[in-house]
Structures are given as C-alpha cells and as structure tokens.
Amino acid sequence: MSFDPATGKLWTGDVGQVAREEASIIVNGGNYGWAFREGFISGPKNQTPPAGFENIVDPIHDYPRSQGVSIIGGIVYRRSRLPELEGAYIFADYGSGRIWALFEDPGGGSPRVEQISSLSNPVTFGRDPSNGDILVASISGSIRRIVRGSGQEPSFPDSLTLTGAFKLVLDLEPEDGILPYEPNVSFWSDFADKQRWVAAPEDSIEYSQDEPWNFPTGAVWIKHFELELERGNPASKIRVETRFLVKTPTSVYGISYQWNESQTDATLVGSEGADIEYAITSEGEASTQTWRIPSRQECLQCHTAVAGYALSFNARQLNRTYPINGEERNILEYFSEIGIIDEPIQSAESIPALPSLDDESKTYRERARAYLAANCISCHQPGGSAPNNWDARPHLSLEETGLINGEVIDDRGYSARRLALPGSPELSVLLSRVQGSHGYERMPQIGSSEVDELAVSLLTNWISSTPPNDATFPEWQAILFGDVNAIDAAADADPDHDGNENLLEFMTYTDPLDPNDFWRPEFTRIGTDACIDFSMPPSRNYEAQISSDLQNWQTWEVVGNPPQSDTVEELQAKIQGPVPDAESSSYLRIKVSTQE
C-alpha cells in the first residue's frame, strides 16, 4: 500500500489466487468482495454471498495470469524529472517482471495502463528521498531507479541462421564452443521432443551440489522443440521453435525463432510471443493443439533469480552419461574437464542425480520428487512466486518439502484435502493441480497447456503407495514392499541402511527406502542438565526413559516428560532435566508407541 502525496488516496496492489491480480484504491469501510470476487470477476468462493454482500468496490484495474502472477503494489509519481509519468501509479508483477504506469481517467472511465519497463522479480517500490525518483528493488538484492530510456527495442538477428549458433541450420550442428547436453528429467513441454546446447566462457560457472549455479554474463542456452503431428509416429515430427536464453550482468532475457513451413529456417518472433495451432492425431482421434511461443516477459516468469535463471542446468540434472564426441561421458565430469565449471569433478558417482521418470528401478517417491524438481521448482521454493506452503527442491527430505499431509491454501470447500494425502489421490491437491481436476487450474501453469499423463500416473502411484497415518504395520508393509513376508519388509530389516529398522520407520512415519529420511532424537548437555530434542508425528506417544545398566528402564522424572502428543500435526518436543551424579552411568532413550 502507499499514499498518493498529492491527493491522499491509498493505493494497493492486491495479489489474487487463481485468476486475476488487481490494483485498488482503498476507501474507509470499503468492501472489495474477497473471496467472492477476484478482480472484476467471480472469485474462488463459489457459494452464495452472505446477506448484506452489496456495494462492492471494484478495483481500478486488474490483469490475467497471462500478464503476471503476483502484483507488486507501487507508488504514485509526483515529481517533474519524468513529466510523462506525473500522477501515474507505478506498479509491477513479481512473476513476469513487467513494470506498468497506470493513469486515471479524469472522467471516471477505465484507466490507461502502459508497460514502461521490466525487471526480474521486483519486490517493492520506493522514492529516492533526495529527488523523488522511483526506486524498485528486486529479490536478487539490487535497487534500481527508473529513468527515461531510448524507446528503442533491442535488435536481434532476424533468423536462426543469422544468429551464427549453427554451422548449418538444417542439420542443427552447433558452432564450435556450443556444447550439447541433456538433463535427467525434462520439463513437460506438451509432448515436444527437445534438444539443448550451452555456451559459456571457460572456468566461469560457479558449481554447487545443491544450490543453483552462478553463471557469467554472456552465457547462452539454446533449446530446440519438435512436435509429432501424429503422436507415436516419429516420421510425422516437425520443427516448431528454437529458443535462446542469454545471461546479462543482472538477469537474463529470452528470444524465440519460429520454424517456417518448409522447415528450412526459423524467423525471430516478436516480443509479444505467438500462438500456433497444429492439427494433431492421437490414437485415431483428431484434435487441435495450441503451441505457445512465450513472450520475452513470459520467459522471466520461470527463469528467475531464485531458480538460478537456467532451469534444469544443475548438478542433479547433469549428473548423467551422454554421447559426447562419439563416446558416452558423464556431463559433469566433461564440463569440469574442459573447464567451464570451476569445480574439479573426476568421479560423479558420489553426487546425487535425479532419476529418469521411466526408470522402474527407482521408487515412485524418487521419481515423483524428480518430476517436481524439474517442473515446479522455479515457483515452489522460498522466494518463488507461488505460495510458500511447499518446497520442490530435491535436496530436502520429504518431510522438509511440506508435501505429505501439507495444508492447502484453497481446499475448494472440502477441508479434508491436503497437498499429498497418503493413500488418497482424490484428496491430494498436488495431483489435482497436475491433471487440472476438481476445479483446480492445471499445472505447470506457464509453458504448457496439455496434461502430462505420465506425471499424473506417476503421482497417482506415489500417493497411492504412501501409507496413510492410520495404517497398521502389516498394511504399511504390504503397501511399501508388496508382501508382508518379503525379506526387506521384516520389522527388524533396514533396507535403506539408515540405522532405523522398519518398525521404527513405521512408528515415526519415515520412508524405509530413503536413506536420507529417518527419525533420530538429538541428545545434548546443557550445564548439568541433559536435553533431548525430537519430532513427534501425529498418533504416536513418546516417553523419555532412563537406565543405569541398559537393562532396567524407568520414566525419566523431569518436567514435560512424557510430552503431550498431538493427533493432528507433527510437533517438535524438547525434554530437559538433571541427570544423576556423574560418578554413576546414566543412559537415556525415547520409547515410541501407538496411541490407544
């Protein structure tokens, strides 16, 4: 919110939920209609509004998700350095990076709204106290001022041939120094097949195992798309689009080239992007598929600073073998060898890798996590444009992602829904989002329009094979191992070798097939006290016990023991108290049991 210093009007940028973002002028006692209204349209609450729901104050402006996903409320400009903006409300969108100027109509009609600039992930506006200039901060940590530009569009080559990226465009043979690569898990792109290349100066990419890499100015990624007009028939494949993503000193920009009908070259697409309709045949059924070539602003909605700009170009995605110079090589080791990443990697075996989605030697959970890491991570992580109720980053434990039994922001009027409800695909909003069902908008929202049936099947199988909290131990064994009598299903087995036997994994809701997912209390000394910290899953009882000989155990008589259990949510427990004289040995343990 901000006040117009000249008129005293209070302006606000109001973030929407599923459809519209809005700018409003706030008045004393005004009813703006949430959640029965969203912008100028009906909101996510479909029930009949309550009595007295009237005299709703309309926003002064709203815009759809095609223009952005999270409005950043701004300020009204009231200085003379930029007279063309005098009296304009300057605001932006976090996801698309667009920055607009809104001019009120003195006659009360619709305002005039013009895009005046763009910036990757703007988060707030301010005024320079020395001269009143408009300042805008981005999540990357920079603060910039808005100044008058040249008004000239940047100049790009008119055709793919003129970019000089390929020796011969027809063969897609890259120029020297432009390297092919392929990630372990590809972003879903509406049935398209893709090829990728990268160019970067030597010793310029700052490597990290878990975090996004830092890229130098001038690094370029190229992605080429082809589409089968008859699905399942490679002979029907046509070239559709070739995209470039270029790293700048402070952000990235993207440009696209659309292939001509003769498939001989591709032409530069305007900054607004393009929609192309293709007649598709699938299993004898004819349909029309709209292929979206993104606008240059749409590129910035996913290729953000938080996501590291270049998506799927990281340690877990590139830790794989790939044909390089006529032989199978590990991509990470090769990039290290030729010196474009600054980390010496001689053996990538110790570095985690995302599994292929069709690798049946991997669990449903591992493959589901890989899918989410490739398709959702640009928005679903701290600082991303999506609500911060779950985190897709693959180095986190499943518990840390917030997915299992995670609270949803919009339950569509049914409180039993969760992000991923074990054993219940129908009530798992994560799955509903991917398949666009139960009234939810389909995801990924940006960059695709077709349902990814492989992902739907994978997530359904994962959620179905995740035991619910009320499962018995035999049910748990059957769901996870297929047979209660399987060797790996035994109560004292430890198939993932994390030190926790199956019975303990069952009691603490951890994954017996994930060595990184285990329950372990933390024992520390604080002065003469002992302290135990541990998580308490729902539907379980805990008690700290003490012994002097590891044979005879009794309740540790200290305040807060046993801790109070909660049947709904996981809690963090802490038990602290004095221990017997140091001359005698004392042992502590946690006893876990089911609630009656």
Task: Tell me which amino acid residue 580 is.
Answer: P
Q: Is residue 315 a contact partner of residue 209, using CB atoms and an 8 Å limit?
A: yes
Report pLDDT for 134: 95
Q: Is the pLDDT of residue 552 over 90?
A: yes
Q: Residue 205: name the closest of 394, 347, 346, 335 by CA.
A: 335
Q: Phi-psi region for residue 539, left (φ > 0), alpha (ψ -120 to 50) or beta? A: left
pLDDT of 580 over the 80 cut: no
Tokens of 526: 């604080």
Q: pLDDT by residue (tens digit) across 19-53?
A: 899 999 999 999 999 989 999 998 888 778 888 88
Number of H helices, E strands in the chain: 10, 31
Read off the pLDDT band of 421 (50, 70, 90).
Answer: very high
Q: What is the pLDDT of residues 557-573, one digit of tens each?
A: 998 898 876 545 667 88
Q: If you average pLDDT over residues 334-341, what whole number do you get? A: 92
Q: Is the peptide bond before 35 cis (omega within 30 degrees of 0)?
A: yes
CA–CA distance from 548 to each of 187, 202, 351, 515, 554 (Å)?
Answer: 57, 62, 43, 32, 10
pLDDT at position 570, please? 67
The string of pLDDT tens digits covering residues 465-497 is: 888 877 899 989 988 887 899 999 999 999 999
Measured distance CA(246)–CA(254) in Å, rounded: 6
Length of the chain: 596
21 and 39 in contact (C-beta within 8 Å)? Answer: yes
Identify the band that residue 281 occupies on the pLDDT scale cut at 50, 70 and 90: very high
- Rounded alpha-carbon distances, angstroms, from residue 175 to 43, 162, 163, 164, 484: 51, 12, 11, 7, 57
Whether 167 has a pLDDT exceeding 90, the answer reads yes
* Token representation of residue 515: 């060595």
Cα distance between residue 555 and residue 547, in whole Å: 9
Pick the CATH number of 2-145 from 3.40.640.10, 2.60.120.260, 3.40.50.720, 2.120.10.30: 2.120.10.30
* pLDDT for res 417: 93
Query: For all residues of the chain together, what is the average pLDDT?
Result: 91
CB neighbours of residue 196 within 10 Å: 17
pLDDT in tens, 259-271: 999 999 999 999 8
Measured distance CA(380)–CA(376) in Å, rounded: 6
Q: How many CB atoms lie within 10 A of CB 217?
A: 11
Check residue 531 and give its pLDDT. Answer: 92
- C-alpha torsion 316→320→322→327, nearest 10: 140
